[in-house]
Structure 1
Amino acid sequence: MARRKKVYEGKAKILYEGPEPGTLVQYFKDDSSSSVAVPSTLEGKGVLNNRLSEFFMSGLNQIGVPTHFIRRLNMREQLVRMAEIIPLEIVVRNFAAGPLSARLGIPEGTQLPRPIVEYYFKDEKLNLPLVAEEHIVAFGWANQQDLDDIVALALRVNDFLSGVMMGVGIRLADFRIEVGRIWEGDFMRLIVADEISPDSCRLWDMRQPERPDGTIPDPQPMGDVYTELARRLGVLPTNITHTMKPTLIN
């Protein structure tokens, strides 16, 4: 497909005008979107994230969770619906890790009493600050009904992803999504947008070798997370042979 006008370029993706009104072509780059110390470019990462995001978004569509995904076009591109992105990163946490452990002093790996949904304002200059529902409503980023719908959407995504990951021996500690608005006539609805990939998930490998005393260690962050996840899910292209490190979310 001939590329059209570039609409947006971020750390890990480029958006181009789509072939039809209301569509975009999403191109996955090899550049890292992680805030931790990993190489700035990971060879083949964009190919794998394209396949992985297709797998997760297609699965969500099939169970009635609306997403922007239409279809994969080639190794690095997919066709998506254009949406008005709400300027929030929605993070769902199942286990204490990262900033949550640091803020509250909860040991990393502690299972939370229930999934916790957090909101981060999408502004890189401000380092994606944690915000409350009161901020979101007061500043007009979303209304209370939007927030109720976002929580319901995020928890359904969590149920789906947790089940898929558990089925291949992976614990989903936490993840982030973005949500967008689309209009169908006068009717507005919210959909899952952006991507779902190891860039936006914290994944721990449950398949740990036994210790000499016969016990099994706690799940650990996955090494070579992009390749290993694609392999376990059965979407690994045969020409990907690199090794990659895991990325972490806020």
Structure 2
Amino acid sequence: MARRKKIYEGKAKTLYEGPEPGTIVQYFKDDATAFNAEKKDVIEGKGVLNNMLSEYFMTGLTNVGIPNHFMKRLNMREQLVRACEIIPLEVIVRNYAAGSMAKRLGMDEGTQLPRPIVEYCLKNDKLGDPLVTEEHIAAFGWATQQDMDDILSLALRVNDFLAGVMYGVGIKLIDFKIEIGRVYEGDFMRLIVADEISPDSCRLWDIETGQKLDKDVFRRDLGSLTDAYSEVAKRLGVMPKASTPMTKPHLIN
């Protein structure tokens, strides 16, 4: 078999050319990073969990009519996705104050916001993914005004879906980030949700206890990241409730 061509390697995923034109194989790594990669570790099983959870969420988006790049899961760590032109923005939807917003505005973490707030950051690791406004986005040509209207609509629809799914299993959706890509069909262009949706890209708190079930467990040294992600997967039915966290496969004699 010919060796696959690597297209891009990021902090948590590696992208390879797909088997057909217009497709990409997305590989989920076990690497965990925080604070713009200043804190790093390898968390065994994390990539498997994120692959399965992202499949669950993307499939759910498809079922409610929200376009996204997911095609199918190939194995425990890889999924086939549609190639798209990524808009260089992180789109963040916040339902409660947490993380950088809480620090920036001097708010207590967990304060419910009067309505979902959508923020945009420029995707640039060297600059620390700085917060940008719609004025910046328009002036520098990262997206058109029509794009921004469509991005806002997509982000809020994803928020409605995720918040409802999480509430149903006793989890509060604090915030999340997504990426948006452009796909072209002849002369027609449309925007779709891309990248991943997983506990790496969401803040998830237990409704009753406030326990964190997301990457803040790693950022703040609050325990086992795979235990936290496995708890989310078990509540959603992605993993059997009696199962143990995903680890490397073992040979059985």
TM-score normalised by the chain length of structure 1: 0.88
Identity %: 70
Deviation at 1:207, TM superposition (A): 3.3
Residue aligning to 2:238? 235
| 1:125-140 alignment runs, 5 A limit | 125-140=126-141
Q: How many residues align?
A: 233
Residue aligning to 1:60? 61
| 1:48-127 alignment runs, 5 A limit | 48-127=49-128
> Structure 1 residues 133 and 99, CA, compared in 2 at 3 Å: closer, same or farther?
same
Deviates more, 1:68-77 or 1:232-241: 232-241
Q: After the TM superposition, which parts of structure 1 deviate over 4 Å for at least 4 consecutive aligned residues? A: 36-39, 237-240
Counterpart of 2:74, as a letter, is L
Counterpart of 2:228, as a letter, is V
Is the contact made by 1:27 and 1:77 (CA closer than 8 Å) also made in structure 2?
Answer: yes
Q: 2: distance between equivalents of 1:236 and 1:106?
A: 36
SS in 1 for 2:31: coil
Deviation at 1:3, TM superposition (A): 5.3
Q: 1: distance between equivalents of 2:235 and 2:208?
A: 12
Counterpart of 2:245, as a letter, is T
SS in 2 for 1:40: strand
Q: Is 2:148 the partner of 1:144?
A: no
| 1:165-244 alignment runs, 5 A limit | 165-208=166-209, 219-222=210-213, 224-236=227-239, 240-241=244-245
Deviation at 1:17, TM superposition (A): 0.4
Residue aligning to 2:31? 31
In the alignment, structure 2 segments of 5+ residues that lack a partner are: 214-222, 248-253
Deviation at 1:107, TM superposition (A): 1.4
Is the contact made by 2:34 and 2:40 (CA closer than 8 Å) also made in structure 1?
Answer: no
Q: 1: distance between equivalents of 2:25 and 2:230?
A: 24
SS in 2 for 1:177: strand
Counterpart of 1:109, as a letter, is G
